[in-house]
């Protein structure tokens, strides 16, 4: 029998395997089966799908963050085309009057091609989003790209753009990275971290060390009065934060953020208790990495995926 953590690591490895992704998505039958699994964790393929899911979240009392899924674009023309989708999304968010941030991977808009290309695209997106009064949120990528992400964040935030950044509590380097990002006013989204990483780079998923690291980073952010999005579905962790910080979580610039389809009951309960809450809505066809990492976070979701494959 395969241990749950070994199964989770296999899923994380598949998430980063671009050749496997290409083989699956190039086969119509396999792609259709994979899309059936993905639908549980995504809003759909189009901007209207995302807007509909976001509006449903708002009706439940939550702010939203919308991401057009994608990563590791290695062609400048494709990066420009994908940025155009983000600009379409932002225009639709503006027209709908949604209280939405817009999330993205820098590698989706060209950072792997050239950092300057990605920076130019982010500037376009920030200018388009400015009338909404919300932020662009830079998502986390694997540890091998953390320096690239933080260098670009320094550049863009230093220009005064309304942009926030995601930090992974799992990474041993994150306490020092937090020192760096606290120099900027942008929101810090604090996640555990879903990528496959070696022990020398990251705490193990589910470990006491990871819990301690997350609580410590959250404590620093709350005590600093820095805008923070506490992004976790771990109810034990959430309740530990509430017990430690109490009214500081409602009086300060703190929100709880959870992914569409994961933890809606907990998010709704936190909203009723007076906390700021946000639901993260993902759409688009390039969901491979995102969905596999969501399943890997809880290996029991493998059985849910098998049920979805069966069409039940």
How many Cα atoms sit within 13 Å of 69 on the Cβ side? 23
Q: What is the mean pLDDT of residues 151-158?
A: 98
Q: What is the mean pLDDT of residues 160-180?
A: 98
Q: What is the pLDDT of residues 216-254, one digit of tens each?
A: 999 999 999 999 999 999 999 999 999 999 999 999 899
SS3 258: strand
Share of the chain above pLDDT 70, in %: 78
Domains of the chain plus CATH, in order, are 42-286 (3.20.20.220)
| Residue of 103, 176, 170 lying closest to 142 (CA atoms) | 170
Q: What is the pLDDT of residue 196?
A: 84
The H-assigned helical ranges of the chain are: 4-16, 18-26, 28-38, 47-59, 76-96, 115-129, 146-158, 174-181, 208-224, 235-245, 248-251, 264-272, 288-297, 301-309
- pLDDT higher than threshold 50 for residue 183: yes
Q: What is the pLDDT of residue 213?
A: 98
What distance in Å separates the CA atoms of residue 248 and residue 38, rounded to the nearest whole number?
Answer: 37
- pLDDT higher than threshold 70 for residue 300: no
Q: What is the pLDDT of residue 307?
A: 47
- pLDDT higher than threshold 50 for residue 308: no
More confident residue, 206 or 34: 206
Q: What is the pLDDT of residue 221?
A: 98
Instruction: Read off φ and ψ for residue 91, nearest 5 degrees.
Output: -60, -40
Residues whose CB is less than 8 angstroms from the CB of residue 292 and which lie 6 or more positions away in sequence, other chains included: 11, 12, 14, 15
């Amino acid at each position: 029998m395969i241990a749950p953590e070994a199964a989770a690591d296999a899923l994380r490895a598949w998430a980063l395997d671009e050749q496997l992704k290409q083989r699956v998505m190039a086969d119509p039958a396999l792609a259709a089966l994979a899309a059936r699994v993905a639908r549980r964790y995504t809003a759909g393929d189009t901007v209207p799908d995302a807007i509909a899911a976001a509006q449903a979240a708002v009706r439940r009392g939550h702010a939203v963050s919308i991401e057009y899924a994608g990563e590791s674009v290695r062609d400048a023309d494709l990066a420009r085309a994908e940025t155009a989708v983000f600009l379409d999304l932002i225009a639709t968010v503006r027209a709908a009057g949604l209280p939405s941030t817009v999330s993205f991977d820098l590698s989706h808009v060209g950072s792997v091609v050239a950092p300057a290309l990605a920076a130019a695209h982010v500037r376009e997106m920030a200018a388009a989003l400015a009338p909404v009064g919300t932020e662009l949120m830079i998502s986390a990528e694997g540890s091998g790209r953390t320096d690239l992400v933080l260098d670009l964040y320094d550049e863009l935030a230093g220009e005064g753009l309304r942009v926030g950044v995601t930090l992974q509590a799992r990474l041993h380097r994150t306490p020092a990275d937090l020192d760096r990002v606290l120099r900027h006013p942008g929101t810090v989204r604090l996640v555990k971290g879903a990528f496959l990483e070696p022990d020398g780079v990251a705490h193990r998923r589910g470990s006491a060390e990871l819990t301690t690291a997350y609580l410590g980073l959250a404590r620093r952010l709350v005590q600093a009065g820095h805008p923070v999005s506490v992004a976790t579905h771990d109810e034990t962790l959430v309740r530990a934060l509430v017990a430690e910080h109490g009214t500081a979580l409602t009086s300060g610039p703190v929100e709880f953020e959870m992914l569409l389809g994961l933890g809606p009951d907990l998010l709704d309960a936190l909203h009723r208790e007076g906390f700021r809450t946000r639901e993260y809505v993902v759409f688009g066809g390039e969901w491979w990495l995102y969905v596999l990492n969501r399943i890997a976070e809880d290996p029991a979701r493998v059985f849910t995926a098998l049920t979805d494959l069966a069409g039940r």
